[in-house]
Amino acid sequence: MLERVQSERIQTDCTIIDIRDVTRSYGAFKALDNASLSIGKGEFFSLLGPSGCGKTTLLRMIAGFDTPTSGSIAVDGQPMDGIPANRRPTNMVFQSYAIFPHLNVEQNVAYGLKRLKLQSGEEKRRVEEALEQVSLTGLGKRRATELSGGQRQRVALARALVMRPKVLLLDEPLSALDKKLREQMQVELRRLQQAVGITFVLVTHDQYEALAMSDRIAVMFGGRIAQVASPKEIYQRPVNRQVADFLGGMNFVKAEIVEENDASLVVDTLGFGRVRTDKPKAFVRNGGAATLGIRPERLRVLWDNATAKFEVAGKVVERHYFGEITHLIVEIPGLEKPLSVTETNDFGADDIPVGAPIRLAYDPEALVAMAD
Amino acid sequence: MTAAAEGSPPLRMAGGRRNALLQSEAVQGVALISPTFLYALILLVLPILVVIAHSFWTQDYLTIDHTFTLENYRIALTEPIYRDLLWRSLYISLTVSLLTVLLAYPIAYFISFHGGRHKSLWLFLITIPFWTSYLLRVMSWKVILGYNGVLNSGLMGLGIIDEPSTALLYNSSAVIITLTHAWATFAVLPIFVSLEKVDRTLVEAATDLGDGPLRSFLRVTLPLSAPGVISAALIVMIPTVGDYVTPKLVGGKDGVMIANAIQAQFGKASNWPLGAALSVTTMIIVSLMAGAAVLVIRALQRLAR
C-alpha cells in the first residue's frame, strides 16, 4: 500500500519524462503503439520486455535518435519535438558501450565536456570525479582497446555521468557482461544512481535485473505497455498471463467468476476450490472465465502430519535439483496442468521421491486473478 | 590452413621429422608465398638492383664503364633542370593526391553512410571509367581542355570569355586535372573501406555527448577513417610522381615531369647511368615524402582530439 502511494506521488509531483500517446510505425509495423508513460525525477525506471517489444525504440526516441510517428515526449517539462539528440538534456550508455577507440579513458570521459569550454582545471576535476564514481581512478591514461568489458562499461557510464544529464538512458548495459560481473554491476549501478540522484531509465530483457534495480518497471509486449508498477507489484500482481509468465515461473489455474465487485473477485477453481481475491486495478472481465496464478515459491510442502488452513493434495511427478532449491512438479487431481513448486532444501525437499503423495499449503493472498 | 592443422597429428605420428618440418606453419607459409615471391624477386627486386648498379657507372659512348663513381648523383642533384623537374613532379603529385583525397572523401562518405542497399551498385558505377584505356581517358581530357575543346566552346557560348583560352591545356594544371580524375577511384576505395569500419554507434555517442553533425564528423568519423585517407594519399602520390604518359600528352613544355627526363636518358640521350641515378634519387625522395605525409596526417589526427 505504502509503495503504491509513493509511486503515485512521484508521478504527479515531479515528472521528468512525460511520454504521451507515442506511436512509432515502420510501414504497417508498429514498433511502438500508443505508449504513454511518466517517469519521476530521481527514479530508477526500467523498460522490460522481450526483444522486439519496442523498449529500445522508446529509449532511442527519448534520446533523440528516433522520432515518434505521432505523440510527444517532454523532458523536464520541455517538449522534445524537433530537438536533435545533441541538444537534449539526456545522455546514453550504449549497449556496445561505444567507447571511442582512438581516445584514452580520460579523453573519452572528457569528450562531451570539451564543447562546454570549461576551464582546464574544472574539466580535469570533473573527469576525475566521474572516474572515481565508477571506480576507475588511476586508469585515465589507459587506451580504450586495453580495457576489459566491465571497465569499458564503467567508462561509458562515466562519460555520460560527467555531463550531469537530467536523465541517464541505459540500453541493456549489462547484457555483454558475464553473470557474476553482471550481478555485481547491478548493485553498483543502483548504488550509483542513489548517490548521484539522476533519473535512470534502463532498458533490459532480464527480469531479475529489472526487479533488482528499479523503483518502477514498465513491462512491454509487442509495442504496447502492459503494466507499470513497482517491482514487487509487477511480480506479485501481474495484470495478465504474459506479464506473469515473463517475470519468472507462474502456475496458471482456470477459474470461473462467481461474484465480482469493485474490490474483490470470487472464483471457483477445480484444484483450489472457491477463492476470494483482490481484484487487480487493470482487471477487465472477459466473459465468465478468468485465470488464477500462483508463484511456485508460494506453494509450501506440508511435512508429515502438519496441516494448513488452505491446502491441496497431489502426487510428485518430477523432481529437479538446483542446489539451494528443488523444483517439484506436482499433479493435482482436477487440474489440467501439474503445479510447479520450488522448495528450499533446508527440510529435505531434495529427498522427496517421485511418485510420493504430497500436500501443499498456500495462502489465498498469493493467488492472483488475471484477465485471460 | 585449418584443414591442414586438423590433419596434422596423425601425419606427424606416421612420418616423423620430415613431415613435422613440412607441417610447420612457417614452412607452409613460405611455400604458399614462394611463387609470388619469386615473381616479385625476378621482376621487381632484380631490375631495381640493376638500376642501382647502373647509377654508379658511367656511359662511355656505346659501352658502360664499370668503375664506381658518384658523378651521376652530383649531376642529378645539382643540375638546375633536374632539380626543377623533380620539384615540379613532387608539387604535381602532392597536389594531385591532396585534390584526389578531397574529392574522393565525400564520394566514399556518401556511399558508406547513405548508400543504403545500393552500396555495391555505387562502387560498381565508380569503376566504369576504368573500362576504357588510360590513354583514351587522357586523350578525352585533351578534347575537353583543348583550344577548340568542350570547355572553351562552353565558356565562349556562355559569353564568359571572348576567345579560346590557351591556359587550359599544355601546362601543369592540365596534368593535375587529368591525374586527379584518373586516380579518383583508387582513392575512393580505401577511404570507403575505412569508413565502413567506423562503428555507427560511435557517431551516435558523439551526438549524444553534444556534438553536431560537423563536430562529430571531425572528432570521430574523420580520425577513425584516417588509415583510409593515408593509404589513398599514398596510392595516388607514389605512382603519380613517376607518371610520364600524362605530362607527355597534356603537359606541354610546362608540364614535363622527372619521369620524362628519365625516359629521355634511357632513350634518345642514351645515358643509362644518369637515368638510373635520377630514378634512384626520385625513389628515395618519394619514399621520404610518403613517410612525411603519413606523419603529417597522424599529427592532424592527434590535433583533432
The predicted model gives A61-79 an average pLDDT of: 94
Q: Does A89 touch chain B (CB under 8 A)?
A: no
8 Å CB contact of B202 and A100: yes
Most confidently predicted of A115-124, A159-168, A245-254, B121-130: A159-168
Candidates B205, B219, B223; nearest CB to A98: B205
What is the chain B residue with the closest CA to A96?
A: B201
Q: Which pTM was predicted?
A: 0.81
Domain A2-236: assigned CATH number: 3.40.50.300
User: What residues form DSSP beta bridges with A361?
Assistant: A300, A311
Give yes or no for A176 touching B (CB within 8 A): no
**So what's the pLDDT on residue A256?**
86
Spatial separation of the C-alpha atoms in residues B76 and B1, rounded to whole Å:
50
Chain A residues inside the 8 Å CB shell of B219: 111
Domains and CATH numbers, chain B: 1-46 (no CATH), 56-303 (1.10.3720.10)
Spans of all domains in chain A: 2-236, 249-370
Give the nearest chain A residue to B227 (CA atoms). A102
Burial class (CB in 10 A: 0-12, 13-18, 19+), B184: buried
Q: Which residue of A has its CA nearest to B223?
A: A102
* Nearest CA-CA partner of A281 in A265, A259, A257, A266: A265
CA distance A113 to chain B (A): 8
Residues 6 or more apart in contact with residue A120 via CB below 8 angstroms: none
The mean per-residue pLDDT over the stretch B29-49 comes to 89
Instruction: Collect all residues from B whose CB is shorter than 8 A from any CB in A.
Output: 199, 201-202, 204-212, 215-216, 219-220, 223-224, 301, 305
> Does residue A300 have a pLDDT over 60?
yes
As a whole number of angstroms, the distance between CA A175 and CA A208 comes to 12
If pLDDT is split at 50, 70 and 90, which confidence band does B16 have? Answer: low
Nearest C-alpha neighbor of B260 from the set B270, B271, B275: B275
Nearest CB partner across the interface for A92, out of B208, B223, B301: B208
pLDDT surpassing 90 at residue A216: yes
What integer is the mean pLDDT of A223-235? 93
Confidence tier at A76 by pLDDT (50, 70, 90): very high
Average pLDDT over residues B257-268: 89
Closest CB from B199, B207, B305 relative to A86: B207
DSSP three-state, residue A15: strand
Q: Report the pLDDT value the prediction gives residue B305, as an integer from 0 to 100.
A: 58
**What chain A residue is nearest to B204 in terms of C-alpha separation?**
A65
Instruction: Give the separation between CA B59 and CA A146, rounded to whole angstroms.
Output: 59
Model confidence band, residue A118 (pLDDT cutoffs 50, 70, 90) = confident
Beta-sheet pairing, A90-93 with A167-171: parallel
Percent residues over pLDDT 90 in chain A: 57
pLDDT at residue A248 in the model: 86
Produce one character per residue of B15-50: b if its CB has 16 or more CB atoms within 10 Å, e if not: eeeeeeeebeeeeeeeeeeeeeeeeeeeeeeeeeee
**Residue A251, SS3?**
strand
| Shortest CA gap B148–chain A (Å) | 52
Q: Which of A85, A96, A107 sits opposite B208 (nearest CB)?
A: A85
Q: B53: buried, middle or exposed (CB in 10 Å: 19+, 13-18, 0-12)?
A: middle
Q: How far is B301 from chain A (nearest CA, A)?
A: 9
CB pairs < 8 Å spanning A and B: 61
Measured between alpha carbons, how far is residue A158 from residues A71, A91, A144, A164, B293 in Å? Answer: 32, 11, 13, 10, 36
Q: Confidence band (pLDDT; 50, 70, 90) for A305?
A: confident
Please check whether residue A229 touches B, CB under 8 A. no
- According to DSSP, the residues that pair with A22 across neighbouring strands are A35
| Interchain contact A111–B (C-beta under 8 A) | yes
pLDDT confidence band for A13 (50 / 70 / 90): low
Burial A41-60 (b: 16+ CB within 10 A, else e): bbbbbbbbbeeebbbbbbbb
Q: Which one of B204, B208, B302, B303 makes the best mutation probe of the A interface by having the most chain A beta carbons within 10 Å?
A: B208
Mean pLDDT of chain A: 88
- Coil, strand or helix: which one is A47? strand
C-alpha cell recorded at residue A303: 511435512
Does residue A185 register a pLDDT over 50?
A: yes
Residue A199 pLDDT class (50, 70, 90 cuts): very high
pLDDT of residue A4: 47
Check CB contact under 8 Å for A86 and B201: no
Q: Which of A1-10, A321-330, B148-157 has the lowest mean pLDDT?
A: A1-10
- Rounded mean pLDDT, B198-221: 94
> Does A100 contact chain B (CB < 8 Å)?
yes
Residues B7-11: contacts with CB under 8 Å, at least 24 apart: none
Topology of domain A249-370 in CATH is OB fold (Dihydrolipoamide Acetyltransferase, E2P) (2.40.50)
DSSP string, A58-118: HHHHHHTSS--SEEEEEETTEE-TT--GGGSSEEEE-TT----TTSBHHHHHHHHHHTTT-
User: Which among A63, A96, A115 has CB closest to B208?
Assistant: A63
Least confident of A42-46, A176-180, B42-46: A176-180
A86 CB neighbours in chain B (<8 A) are 207-212, 216
Contact A61, A68 (CB under 8 A): yes
Residue-level pLDDT at B236: 93
Q: How far, in Å, CA of A217 to CA of B41, rounded?
A: 69
CB atoms A98 and B201 under 8 Å: yes
Across the beta sheet with A300-302, what order do the strands follow?
A: A300-302, A357-361, A311-321, A325-331, A339-344
Task: Please tell me which residue, A291 or A169, carries the higher pLDDT value.
Answer: A169
- Whether A90 has a pLDDT exceeding 90, the answer reads yes
Enumerate the residues of chain A whose CB falls inside 8 A of the CB of residue B218: none
Query: For chain B, what percent of residues have pLDDT higher than 90?
Result: 42
